[in-house]
Homo-oligomer: A and B are copies of this chain.
């Protein structure tokens, strides 16, 4: 298992007329969570695309909204990989507010796709090797 935390503040642009973080913006928080988890392993998401010729389209998203997030809240995005990726990589997320309340949980699954052939491929070893240390 590998977990990484990253903090992001709720911006005015992301609020809605209820005064909440709009439900559609959470997906961006998950993006930031997984990209920063990857960076914390000494890899970069863009290396998948630019060096390895692999892209990672999202296959599924499941999100549960437990409490609202509000303007200017500093949200901790806790991102976890619970099992070694195969042709699919799965991220678990918890969003936590400054009162240490879990306000949202989510699971996002992505495929590895070869940009040239558009075929699904296995998780590149350049990344899998870095992750394997933690499993």
A interface residues, Cβ below 8 angstroms from B = 11-13, 15-20, 22-28, 31-32, 35, 44-46, 49, 55, 57-65, 68, 71-72
- Stoichiometry, copies per complex: 4
Does B18 lie within 8 Å of A57, measured CB to CB? yes
Query: CB distance B28 to A24 under 8 Å?
Result: yes
* Nearest residue, chain B, Cβ from A111: B65
Knowing that A12-B45, A44-B72, A45-B72 touch, tell me 6 more A-B residue pairs with CB under 8 angstroms.
A13-B27, A18-B57, A20-B57, A24-B25, A60-B62, A60-B64
Whether the pair B65, A18 counts as a contact (CB closer than 8 A) is: no
Name the contact of A24 in the complex, choosing from B18, B24, B59 (C-beta under 8 A). Answer: B24
